[in-house]
Each structure stands twice: as C-alpha cells, then as structure tokens.
Amino acid sequence: MTSKGTKKNSFATKAVRHGTTRSVFGEHSEAIFQTSSFVFNTAEEAAQRFSGDQDGPIYSRFSNPNTEMFEERLASLENAEASCATSTGMSAIMLTCLTFLKSGDRILATPSLFGATIQAFETVVKKFNIGIDYARLTDNTDWKAKLKSRTRLIFLESPSNPLNEIADLKKISELSSKAGIISVVDNCICTPSLQNPLDFGIDLSLHSATKFIDGQGRSLGGIIAGNKNLIGELKKTMRFCGFSLSPFNSWLLFKSLETLDVRMNQHSKSAKKIAGWLSKDKRVNAVYYPGLTSHPQYELAMSQQKSGGALVSFEIKDPTDESAQARAWKIIDNLTLFSRTGNLGDTRSTVTHPATTTHAKVESKTKKLAGITDGLIRLSIGLEDYEDLILDLNEAMS
C-alpha cells in the first residue's frame, strides 16, 4: 500500500504522509529493504522488469523501495514531478554534469558557490573538455553577458554558502529558458521547507541531503528534483554509473523529512535572533543574513524564501589584515557550544572558518571574487536555546 497524499495537503502533512510504501506485513514505521537485489516469481517476470514492461524493483543500484519512497516524498515537497536520489550532494552535481554535458559544452556558474563545487568543476569536469564561466550571482546583467553559444547548464546556489547572497531565480529561469539552457539551483541552505526554486521556473532543484534534510549529521545523501523528462535522463545515467544512495541512508533521509519543517522554522527563528545580536556588536565588521532588513537583498530574499534560514556568517573587524585569520581562529577555538566542523544543517550548532576549510583549495582570485576573507566566520545555527548561543559567542569574542 502506498500513501500518495494530495496536492491540497500542506507541506507539514506531505512531509509526514506522502510516499509511504507498506509491505504485506502492514508495518506502521516504514521497513528497511537492506538488500542488493530482488527475486522474481518467474523468468518471464524477470524479463518484464528488465524491459520496463512491468514496474518493480530489480537491483538496489537503481531501484530500491526505500530510495523510491524518499524520492517521492522529496518531489512532493519541492512541487516537482519526480526526483533522483544520489549517494552525496557532490554526486548529485556530478550526475547532472555527466547527464547533460558533453565535450565542448560549457557551464555558467558563479564564484559564490560551495568550495567543493568549484573544485569539482575546475579539477574534474574540465578534464572532459567542458568549459566553466563565472557570473556574479547577484548581477542579472552579468549572467546574460556571460552566456556563450555552447553554454548548456546554468548552476548556482541561492542563498550562497557562506555569504547568503541571493540570486533572482525568476530572472535566471527566464534567461535560461529563452536560451534553451537547463537551470540548476543548489537549494541545500533553504531546503524545500523555505524555498521551492521550481516555482520560479528553475528546471532542477538540487540538494546535499547530508545537511538540513538529514538534520542530525548521521548520513550522506543527495537528491535532484524536476520534471519527469529531466529526472528520467538522470536516472538513465544513474543506472550505469553507480551514484546510488544506500537503502539505509534512504530510509534515514525519508524519515528525517517528517521533521524538516519544524526544524527549519526553529533554526530560522534562532538564526535571526543571533544575526540581529551580531549586527549590533561593535566587534563585528559585517553580518551576512538574508532575514535582516539590513541585508542588501532582503526584499528579494523574502519574496523567494519563507524565512532567512539557519546560516549566519559574520566578519570580525579588519577582516583582511595579517592578524585576521589568527583572531578568527581564536574566537572559533573559544566557543564551547558550537561544534568545530565543516558540516552544516545539524541539530547542533556548528562553526567553521571558510577561508581555511570549505574554500581552502579554491584559488585566491576566485576566493576574493566570492568575498571570502580571513576574518569571515560561518555559523550554522542548531536547535539549542539561542540565548545560550549568544552568550557563548559573546564570551568567545571577549
């Protein structure tokens, strides 16, 4: 039995009820199908499954009930026709590139990307004779100017990591549609709880499910949502290239979606309080949080997002002088409630120094274009009491 839910259901209801498949035993909590393959009643049934004439699981590299449940539920939350789950967020990016690009094609991206994404484009994708061009995330004119005749994919994050810059998704989708280019938005920071890129005409919404979708730092995963045609192409590549999400991680991520809305709302409320406090502190040079009215793209952010999200970045005073890194490191080391880790999206608040961690391998020129200074500190606000976190930050900066 499968619980599909309806389009009329609210986000919270779909997150709990949509996509559930029960076995003949009628379990209430979904079962884990921890198996590499599936058996067939007859040779004819096996042939029908492999030919596609009959629906049903074959081999967990490309068909497993747990993965399909996760895909169905996430697609529903993204207002998408379908989705394709992968082993990690980075594998979702590489799967997209392998599926839609060939030698001689070009990607139009932005310096305002997660450091590992830039590294994947520059050190791996380029080896296949695929060119990479960069436009300023917030400059619609620059996006248009950087388009080339062989551009086949537009790739961006909004909000960006770590500076929370906001792209005009409607303008990007109009540009890509007119040029016949596939547009991809990394929606990892907002999740479908706070933002649905497809509602603005974007073709594919991509996630590192490792972050807020899991929400507890337990598992790796990625997922891409879009229309049936594009997702069908991704699944063809997936079948033979092995970017598969494991059944257990599929189950974990599927169950995590049940609490996504509750978590994201609380993350955002606490993050806004902390960002507001930082913005008034004289020891802080700048705060990057789209939920503050002082953010240069506040109105655009609030027209695309339900709230500001959980990511808060700030610069200490004199963020580019020779002592900035040491001073930022000292604050990070003084924190007691924030976990020092490169991950984000956890129930536990985390802190990192982007210039020497997530963007450490990014070229200095690209890092500078992205606005990553030695005095920048990134916070991912968890579910602790925000007042305790403010006290910890205040003491660490003292």
Cα 229 from Cα 113, distance rounded (Å): 27
SS (H, E, C) the chain: CEECCCCCCCHHHHHHHCCEECCCCCCCCCCCCCCCECCCCCHHHHHHHHHCCCCCCCECCCCCHHHHHHHHHHHHHCCCCEEEEECCHHHHHHHHHHHHCCCCCEEEECCCCCHHHHHHHHHCHHHHCCEEEECCCCCHHHHHHHCCCCEEEEEEECCCCCCCCCCCHHHHHHHHHHHCCEEEEECCCCHHHHCCHHHHCCCEEEEECCCCCCCCCCCCCEEEEECHHHHHHHHHHHHHHCCCCCHHHHHHHHHHHHHHHHHHHHHHHHHHHHHHHHHCCCCEEEEECCCCCCCCCHHHHHHHCCCCCCEEEEEECCCCCCCHHHHHHHHHHHCCCCEECCCCCCCCCEEECHHHCCCCCCCHHHHHHCCCCCCEEEEECCCCCHHHHHHHHHHHHC
CATH code, domain with 138: 3.40.640.10
In a domain, 116, yes or no: yes
- List pLDDT tens digits, range 121-176: 999 999 999 999 999 999 999 999 999 999 999 999 999 999 999 999 999 999 99
Structure tokens at 37: 């393959």
CA distances from 94 to 89, 172, 236, 349, 361 (A): 9, 21, 14, 29, 18
37 has which bridge partners? 59
In a domain, 3, yes or no: no
Whether 208 and 240 share a structural domain: yes
The amino acid occupying position 88 is T
What is the β-pairing status of strands 106-109 and 284-288? unpaired
Whether 204 and 302 share a structural domain: no
* Number of domains the chain contains: 2
Which residue range forms the structural domain that includes residue 276? 261-397
In a domain, 326, yes or no: yes
CA distances from 113 to 28, 157, 277, 358, 388 (A): 41, 6, 27, 10, 31
Counted residue by residue, the chain has a size of: 398
Whether 46 and 127 share a structural domain: yes
Structure tokens at 97: 């590139």
Whether 130 and 277 share a structural domain: no
Last residue of a domain, one of 229, 259, 289: 259
The amino acid occupying position 21 is T
Whether 152 and 36 share a structural domain: yes
Q: Find, among 345, 354, 393, 351, the residue nearest to 372 by Cα.
A: 354
pTM given for the model: 0.95
Last residue of a domain, one of 243, 259, 275: 259
Whether 244 and 276 share a structural domain: no
Whole-number pLDDT of residue 364: 84
- List pLDDT tens digits, range 55-84: 999 999 999 999 999 999 999 999 999 999
Whole-number pLDDT of residue 363: 84
Whether 86 and 171 share a structural domain: yes
In a domain, 106, yes or no: yes
In a domain, 60, yes or no: yes
Whether 219 and 272 share a structural domain: no
Whether 192 and 211 share a structural domain: yes
Q: Find, among 303, 309, 84, 112, the residue nearest to 192 by Cα.
A: 309
Whether 370 and 226 share a structural domain: no
Whether 226 and 213 share a structural domain: yes
Q: Find, among 354, 345, 348, the residue nearest to 315 by Cα.
A: 354
Q: Find, among 22, 88, 38, the residue nearest to 250 by Cα.
A: 88
In a domain, 342, yes or no: yes
Query: Are 290 and 164 a contacting pair, CB within 8 Å?
Result: yes
Whole-number pLDDT of residue 1: 47
Q: Find, among 125, 114, 119, 186, the residue nearest to 152 by Cα.
A: 125
Whether 296 and 307 share a structural domain: yes
Q: Which residues of the chain have pLDDT under 50?
A: 1
Cα 311 from Cα 396, distance rounded (Å): 19
In a domain, 341, yes or no: yes
Whole-number pLDDT of residue 7: 60
Last residue of a domain, one of 236, 259, 282: 259
In a domain, 4, yes or no: no
Whole-number pLDDT of residue 8: 81
CATH code, domain with 377: 3.90.1150.10
